[in-house]
Structure 1
Amino acid sequence: MENRSESGEASRPRLQLPASCDPPVLNGPTKQLVWIIFGGTGHMGRSLVKSALSHGDLVCSVGRVFESRPEDMQGIHDNCLGLLCDVRSRESVNRVFRQAMDRFGRVDVVANCSGYGVIGACEDQDEHDVRNQFETNFMGTLHIIHATLPYFRRQQAGRYLIFSSTSGALGVPGLGPYCASKYAVEGLIEALLYETDAFHVKATLIEPGLVRRDEPDSDTNPLPTWGHFFIKPPSEPYSNSTSPALHAKRMVQWLGDRQPTSAVKCAELVWQLGHCSYPPLRLLLGSYAIESIRDRMRSITEELEDWKHLNFATVPDSDQGNDEMDVTADSSAAG
């Protein structure tokens, strides 16, 4: 059904999660939830903070200590507590949770939008680069879970919304360690989902594609067009302009503001996710995310079909020779 503006012109319908999720009703009353949003100063986190506040929720917006100043986190909104945190530090995360509980008395939804990546060939990234990505992306997520899960478990309710990436399902040249850290996050959350189901604690991995910024950055602390990624100069073996290792660098620099997916629209869907009754394990946002993951799954399926003839049962050693002959014969027949 079309929505119509005051002038009577037809407008696009509001993006809505499917009915199977039992999302909040359009323009209907919703229960006021308390959110902790880590990475609340990035363009995705900032949009999510604004979306939650616009719907009347209470929010603890958590900025990164080395990107924001304490004064930047003040006066955001009457219903918003602004804090700073380094997710690599367990105590820093614990402190945020304690302060949120002191202010609001409860926490219902924890969203982690924080992330860090280095763009460069695997060989060019040193131990510091790799550890920093894992400490931020994987250990940061684990610190957040360790700080909040005992509380969620005791109250028999809670929601995790963990921003992963299409890089958590793909091997992107120039983003090897970053992809590895996101793969780790995906495995962690999928295992957690099974472990906490009996406690009514739910988790969703949010995999955005190419998300553009819908609002300007702060004039005093503008972010580069590649956001939370650090571009490392390539070493000589990978410096050729056609090197696959430069793929990620070429991609982010070419994209600039061409990203097709709106951060504001993504944030609205994520807000609905926090309020729905039956959230999915994964929420892919944008056509790039859907198509790239679909291509990846197709590739894996085709590879399984190509090599499935090698999947035979283990047999006693006495029959091993005959079994090898059968496999060889089958392969010859297939050729």
Structure 2
Amino acid sequence: MAASSPPSPTPTNARLHLPASTDPPSDANPPTPKVWLVFGATGHIGRSLVDAALSHGDTVTAVGRTRENTMAQMQGWHARCLGLLCDVRVRETVDAVIRRTIGAWGRVDIIVNCTGYGVIGACEDQDACDLRSQFETNFLGTLNIIQLSLPYFREAAAQRREHENAGRYLIFSSTSGALGVPGLGPYCATKYATEGLIESMLYEIDAFGIKATLVEPGHMRLDEATGLDDKVGDGAGVEGNAGTNHSASNSTSNNVKLKRYGHFLLKPPSAPYASPTAPAGHARRVVQWLGNRQPTSAVKSAELVWELGHCRYPPLRLLLGTFAVESVRDRLRSIIEEIEDWKHLSFPTAEEGGRRGKGDGGREDEGEGEEEGMEMEEEGEGDEEGGF
């Protein structure tokens, strides 16, 4: 990987659109104004999304992070933007933000969760505090938002017109929700959990006309101007310069000791995982290799997510960027190949066992097949009672 160079960024003048099958907004299908509630609005993708929504005439509540941002930082973004603070791990603060949004704008149409926290380091090196912080932010924080806002969306469903969506969730996941990444084990676990939560919930809420989409960005650039108050940053930098912005980590030298990157904390490796080629150091090496030359534009991605909020038929997943598409597709291919390699070990049903005995010829084989089928039938009854 070190011998290669990161892909060149896509020209910013190229305009991307959702496929026509989603019925996205267009000149022939003009969007109606929406009210957005964006958790994690001080991260780069969050600020880009807030700017995109405001530029298209929508109204936004932008929620910053308690103890990382101040109310002063959240003010003055735009006349149609309400700035608030919240800790998604604390249900009372989430509930207060939802209530204040509805009180200020009269309703909320789209709820976005861009919050996230990760620790880059070997699984063995991450202690209980690291694990708890990641799960409480990424998984339980998402669950808090959903559980506290769903009653409002369900009430809105009773007032909606036919074929009109009652509300929408846009939950930022990651390609780490589909891949196992060395150096990001617990973070991947939180994203796998979030993916399972949203996919399961989608079946439950579809009857109310409520939609949900998992947004999975690939490697995303952090150095683009968002058009909003870029002083509200993630505090990323190299060790010894924690107050500098993301561009401070551009160097790809092996001597660079990163302290934080976006919403990721880089944890020093223990001795068993400290060698230059240790698999557990993969995520750290990728960060140092890419610097701020990631191929996926946060600003262009935000435009697609804005369309996602206004389209009629949103997908369950929206993959953003070539890396996201290719890595997830390769992972799914490997799973299918593995299934094909091992499918001969599947256990036959009673009917299949009987047919196999007849095909081999002879009454003795037929009897063995039936006996085997009866045994498997009994085992199957036990499995059906005890599991899914």
- Tell me the TM-score normalized by structure 2: 0.77
User: Which of 175, 195, 204 in structure 2 is aligned with 1:195?
Assistant: 204
> Which of 285, 289, 308 is the equivalent residue of 2:343?
308
What CA distance in whole angstroms lies between the structure 2 residues aligned with 1:197 and 1:219?
36
Structure 2 unmatched ranges of 5 or more: 1-11, 158-165, 238-245, 247-260, 354-366, 374-388
> Within 2, Cα distance between the matches of 1:221 and 1:45?
11
| Identical pairs, percent | 64
- Out of 303, 323, 327, the position equivalent to 1:288 is 323
**Alignment partner, residue 257 of structure 2:** none
Mapped contact 2:18–2:24 kept (Cα < 8 A): yes
- 5 Å-filtered alignment, 1:180-259, equals 180-213=189-222, 214-215=224-225, 217-218=230-231, 222-224=235-237, 225=246, 226-259=261-294
Matches within 5 A, 1:260-279: 260-279=295-314
What secondary structure is seen at the aligned counterpart in 2 of 1:194?
A: helix
Aligned residue for 1:90? 91
Unaligned runs of 5+ in 1: 1-10, 325-335
The answer to whether the 8 A contact 2:69-2:232 is kept is: no
1:77 lines up with 2:78 in the alignment: yes
CA 18–190 in structure 1, closer or farther in 2 if over 3 Å, else same: same
Contact 2:110-2:170 within 8 A present in 1 as well: yes
Whichever residue aligns with residue 21 of structure 1, its letter is: T
**Equivalent position SS for 2:269:** coil
Instruction: Compute the displacement of 1:223 (Å).
Output: 2.9
CA distance in 2 between counterparts of 1:115 and 1:196 reads 24
Report the residue type matching 1:278 in the other structure.
Answer: Y
Q: Aligned-pair distance for 1:319?
A: 4.6
TM-score after normalising by structure 1: 0.89
Counterpart CA distance in 2 for 1:198 and 1:288 is 34
Larger radius of gyration: 2
SS state at 1:211 partner:
coil
- Supply the distance in 1 between the matched residues of 2:218 and 2:111 (Cα, whole angstroms): 21
Check 1:162–1:183 CA distance in 2 against 1; reply closer, same or farther (3 A cut): same
Q: Which residue identity lines up with residue 310 of structure 1 in the other structure?
A: L
Amino acid corresponding to residue 173 of structure 2 in structure 1: S
Give the corresponding residue for 1:67: 68
CA distance in 2: counterparts of 1:233 and 1:186, whole angstroms: 29
Taking the aligned partners of 1:56 and 1:90, their CA distance within structure 2 comes to: 30
Q: 1:114 to 1:219 in 2, by over 3 A?
A: closer
Task: After TM superposition, give the deviation of residue 218 of structure 1 in Å.
Answer: 1.8
Change over 3 Å in CA distance of 1:246–1:320 after alignment to 2 = farther
Matched position secondary structure for 2:67: coil
Counterpart code for 1:309: H
- In structure 2, the CA distance between the partners of 1:147 and 1:302, relative to structure 1 (3 Å rule), is same
Partner of 2:24: 23
> How far apart are residue 215 of structure 1 and its match?
1.8
Distance in 2 of aligned mates of 1:159 and 1:221: 27
Deviation at 1:121, TM superposition (A): 0.4
Paired residue type of 1:305: E
Q: 1:220/1:31 Cα in 2 relative to 1: closer, same or farther (>3 Å)?
A: closer
CA root-mean-square deviation: 2.1
Aligned residue number for residue 127 of structure 2:
126
Shift of 1:29: 3.6
Q: 1:165 aligns with which of 147, 160, 174?
A: 174
2:149 aligns to what SS in structure 1? Answer: helix
